[in-house]
């Protein structure tokens, strides 16, 4: 069964999706894989407390365009969002 985030993405078709690694039912990487399979054109950002190169690599492989740590300045999140929304 798909998680609520995947179901909402299917219903709403957002311009961008922000995921956390820790989520109920399926984690953020699992949700990203499913969302990317269903809607590869929707950019995704992982905004999480976890910050390591392995997570970033797995996130990129799952279709996530940027990984930002919650310990970073919030403007880094906004910069990543802006960049993903303005990709051609």
Highest mean pLDDT among 17-26, 31-40, 44-53: 31-40
Whether pLDDT at 48 is above 50: yes
Q: Which helix H or strand E contains 45, and what residues bound it?
A: strand 44-48
What's the pLDDT score for residue 86? 94
Predicted model pTM: 0.89
CA distance 44 to 59: 10
Tell me the domain boundaries of the chain.
17-85
- Residue 66 burial (10 A CB sphere; 0-12, 13-18, 19+): buried
Classified by CATH at the fold level, domain 17-85 comes out as: Rossmann fold (3.40.50)
Distance (Å) of CA 16 to CA 1, 47, 48, 52, 68 = 22, 13, 16, 23, 15
Whether pLDDT at 45 is above 70: yes
């Amino acid at each position: 069964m798909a998680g609520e985030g995947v179901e909402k993405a299917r219903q709403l078709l957002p311009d961008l999706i922000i995921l956390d690694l820790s989520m109920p039912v399926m984690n953020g990487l699992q949700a990203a894989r499913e969302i990317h399979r269903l809607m590869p054109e929707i950019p995704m950002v992982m905004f999480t407390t976890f910050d390591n190169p392995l997570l970033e690599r797995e996130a990129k492989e799952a279709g996530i365009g940027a990984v930002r740590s919650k310990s970073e300045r919030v403007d880094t999140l906004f910069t990543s969002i802006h960049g993903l929304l303005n990709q051609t």
